Amino acid sequence: MTEAKLTMDAPFEHSLLDDAPKPRVGTPLDRIEGPLKVSGRARYAAEHFLPDMAYGVLVRAPFGSGTVTRLDADAARAMPGVIAVIDSDLLIRNGGDFGGSAAPPQGVRDVVYFGQPIALAVADSFEHARAAALAVRVDHEARPGIYDLEAALDRAEPPTDDIFGLFLIHTEQGDVETAIAQADTVIDEVWTTPSHSHAAMEPHAAVAEWDGQRLTLQASYQSPVVSRDQLATALGLDATQIRILSPYVGGGFGGKLGLMPEAAAAAIAARELGRPVKVVMARQTVFEATGRRPATHQRLRLGADSDGRLTAIAHETITDQLEGETFFEPAGIATHVLYAAPNRVVDHKVARVNKLLGVSMRAPGEAVGQLSLECAMDELAERLGIDPVELRLRNEPDRHPELDIPFSSRSLADCLRTGAERFGWSNRSVVPASRREGEWLIGHGMAASVRGNLFGPSQARVRIGADGRITIETEMTDIGTGTYTILAQIAADLLGVAMSDVDVRLGDTDLPTSAGSGGSWGATTAGSAVYAACLELRDLLADAAGVPVAEARFADGMLTARGQARTLGDLAGAGMAVDGSVAPGQSNGAFSQASYGAHFCEVRVNATTGETRVARWSSVLAAGRILNPKTATSQAIGGIVFGIGAALTEEQVHDSRSGKVVNRDLGEYHVPVHADIPDIDVLFLDERDHAANPLLAKGVGELGVCGAGAAVANAIYNATGVRIRDFPCTLDKLL
Ligand code: MOS
């Protein structure tokens, strides 16, 4: 096997993608796996049926804090079709996130949140297992719990670990207190955001089957290798003994980044019973026993001089999490980078609560942090009498304001100007509550958007068969984001073949390891690995043709050079394969890398009912080269819809007496539906990032959600004159 390595060392002066005679990258191609999905042939985890398979249903704690003193499963075991009731400590093993260890400190009888798995009922059918799970009797001794972040604020402490060193727990520069005291204008307010649920369409599901000492798990994970390693740790196995397959994933948003209880449950039950076991979470179980975006309490202070130049930014955030868990919501992460100001503090603290595990959710940190920062900027603009777009332009930094390193690319100013133009921002009424049509108050709002561009090691194998067909293989997943299509586009352009000549295999831990789908890095990392492999394949093909690769033209399935044209299949002989791998390099510390954007929206608020409708939307985004404008636009729209949900409806409500999730289904946890969303206009600027990677692309998936909710809240203020700082902006807060 030939290996090809690329390290992210800037600059990437030239991308071979720009040489493609008939470029597919940059064109809005349909998803290549789309027909499989719409015809039901793409098989998701729960759709695997194995001979002799048993069904498991999790038994979960009906209290929020305490000890199980007796778990009486005698009646359950005697029920029709019941095979076993398992109460292994492994059942609660839960990796949670990239940083998670899959080894929570407590045993299965020690309950730290309402709905925590405490046993697994296994039967010959799902219905029998569910009936048995309900028949398990649980006695417990209660312990006082803490179910509310606001009640736990005074216990908040710094996080125990800065996840990968990325989140910057505490940064401090200059003298914020003096600067605030001397500022002409000061904003000093508290914003709060509730727990959110990822609410992916496909519930968590796992089908486990052991073949001797090896476990095969059909599951739904964004990063199968991460989940595999966490499961191996939990079960005391070597990673090579586990294979996880996630070829299709019906959404993740962070809720499927790390191992969740269904996978460990299926694995241990299948091992114990010597037969395949399927565990599919009901929607309520997903809401109660997987993960959530932590709630936040954010004090944000801005100081500015009379010209609207920020003199101080202080963003002090408190989020909530289970005891002993390392992940924290880095709500100040965007504040490190978005605006210039000589005096600055960004701080994160965590209060320990008895609510289900806090994990990453789409744009962890930025999504909720920009709800406060971008609303605070709106308040400051109004106080100063400066247009909010102009205020942002006046505080555009030349370099990273804390780290004093250059930006790899930053088109925020362009996004703001182009967006304002496109939306017709100058037509808005500056005076709040001054536009009305019948009973509808009309308002306009905007916000900036930023999401960090991250890079992790990733590998992909690219093969050429004797028939000239190209196969791409990587453990990377497609969680609805377009990975299958994008990787095929890159290979098609670099090797000069048709899209229909490229096969893509994803989501299998036996394939070369990727960085997985998370953090908006999936397309750029896996895509760069494919790039590295194709670069080497071009060399091998040129060698086989006996021509210098610099003179070779790759098009129409042929290599043409020096008057000769040969098919790739012919040149590949019995076949060629290259393992491409990419790793972070000097680019990843030397440059501040992020995608930027600007959102503009119109809302209509009913003067009688307080109902808010989003009526019009324009976003201008810049994320380097856009590999596929169709899938990227879908990502942006999806993110914006998430942002609208965070602004208006989404709130995981925890009963203040038990932590129980009160609204644990999609009927009660309100994500926006089609009727809630207008046409969303998204424009990507034509940007190239020559420091990020050889694709010259940056992350897209989480950019849309960042700032989107703040644009809505700012528009609500413009419509009504009411500032809501306690998200979501439900109608009761407007009346
Ligand atoms: Mo994302 S929250 O890293 O899936």
pLDDT of res. 97: 65
| pLDDT band at 534; cut points 50, 70, 90 | very high
Which ligand 1 atom sits closest to the C-alpha of 360?
A: 2
| pLDDT band at 90; cut points 50, 70, 90 | confident
Which ligand 1 atom sits closest to the C-alpha of 257?
A: 4
pLDDT of res. 167: 83
Nearest to 291 by CA among 20, 562, 100: 100
Nearest to 482 by CA among 335, 636, 343, 276: 636
CA–centroid distance, residue 257 to ligand 1 (Å): 7
Average pLDDT over residues 699-705: 97
pLDDT of res. 154: 96
- Rounding to the nearest 10 degrees, give the CA dihedral for residues 143, 291, 294, 173: 120
Beta-strand ranges (E) seen in 364-457 are: 436-437, 440-452
Does residue 459 sit in helix, strand or coil?
A: strand
Task: Say if CB 49 and CB 57 are below 8 A apart.
Answer: no
Which ligand 1 atom sits closest to the C-alpha of 222?
A: 4
| pLDDT tens profile 557-606 | 999 999 999 999 999 999 999 999 999 999 999 999 999 999 999 999 99
- Residue with tokens 């059918």, as numbered in its chain: 125
Catalytic: which of 209, 366, 602, 702? 702
pLDDT of res. 95: 65
| pLDDT tens profile 132-145 | 999 999 999 999 99
**Which residues have C-beta atoms less than 6 Å from ligand 1?**
222, 252-254, 257, 360-362, 364, 518-519
DSSP state of 293: B
Task: Say if CB 511 and CB 525 are below 8 A apart.
Answer: no
Nearest to 257 by CA among 219, 221, 205, 285: 221
Nearest to 430 by CA among 48, 714, 150: 714
Average pLDDT over residues 456-470: 97
Average pLDDT over residues 172-198: 98
| pLDDT band at 345; cut points 50, 70, 90 | very high
Q: How many CB atoms lie within 10 A of CB 237?
A: 17
Average pLDDT over residues 478-500: 98
Q: Tokens for 276?
A: 């395949």
| pLDDT tens profile 515-533 | 999 999 999 999 999 999 9
| pLDDT band at 94; cut points 50, 70, 90 | low
Nearest to 697 by CA among 19, 8, 5: 8
Half-sphere exposure of 184 (CA within 13 A, CB side): 12
Structural domains of the chain, with CATH: 2-30+455-589 (3.30.365.10), 48-144+200-289 (3.30.365.10)
CA–centroid distance, residue 60 to ligand 1 (Å): 26
Task: Say if CB 411 and CB 685 are below 8 A apart.
Answer: yes
Average pLDDT over residues 203-210: 98
Assess whether pLDDT exceeds 60 at residue 82.
yes
Assess whether pLDDT exceeds 90 at residue 198.
yes
**For 574, left (φ over 0), alpha (ψ -120 to 50), or beta?**
alpha
What is the rounded CA–CA span in Å between residue 271 and residue 208? Answer: 9
What is the rounded CA–CA span in Å between residue 102 and residue 700? Answer: 29
- For the question of residue 150 being annotated catalytic, the response is no
Assess whether pLDDT exceeds 70 at residue 35.
yes
pLDDT of res. 107: 67
- Burial of 589 from C-beta contacts in 10 A (0-12 / 13-18 / 19+): exposed
Predicted TM-score (pTM) of the model is 0.97
| pLDDT tens profile 624-667 | 999 999 999 999 999 999 999 999 999 999 999 999 999 999 99
Assess whether pLDDT exceeds 70 at residue 101.
no
| pLDDT band at 91; cut points 50, 70, 90 | confident
Task: Say if CB 576 and CB 534 are below 8 A apart.
Answer: no
Assess whether pLDDT exceeds 60 at residue 376.
yes
| pLDDT band at 550; cut points 50, 70, 90 | very high
CA–centroid distance, residue 362 to ligand 1 (Å): 5
Which ligand 1 atom sits closest to the C-alpha of 361?
A: 2
Assess whether pLDDT exceeds 60 at residue 110.
yes
| pLDDT band at 89; cut points 50, 70, 90 | confident
- Alpha carbon nearest to ligand 1 atom 4, residue: 254
pLDDT of res. 106: 59
Assess whether pLDDT exceeds 90 at residue 175.
yes
Phi, psi of 572 (to 5 degrees): -75, -10
CA–centroid distance, residue 706 to ligand 1 (Å): 13
CA–centroid distance, residue 519 to ligand 1 (Å): 5
Nearest to 224 by CA among 411, 477, 410, 469: 477
Task: Say if CB 639 and CB 520 are below 8 A apart.
Answer: no
Average pLDDT over residues 61-80: 96
Pocket test for ligand 1, best of 97, 164, 257 (most atoms within 8 A of CB): 257
**For 570, left (φ over 0), alpha (ψ -120 to 50), or beta?**
alpha
Is ipTM strictly over 0.95?
yes
CA angle, corner 165, sides to 622 and 356, nearest 5?
Answer: 90
Mean pLDDT (the chain, rounded): 96
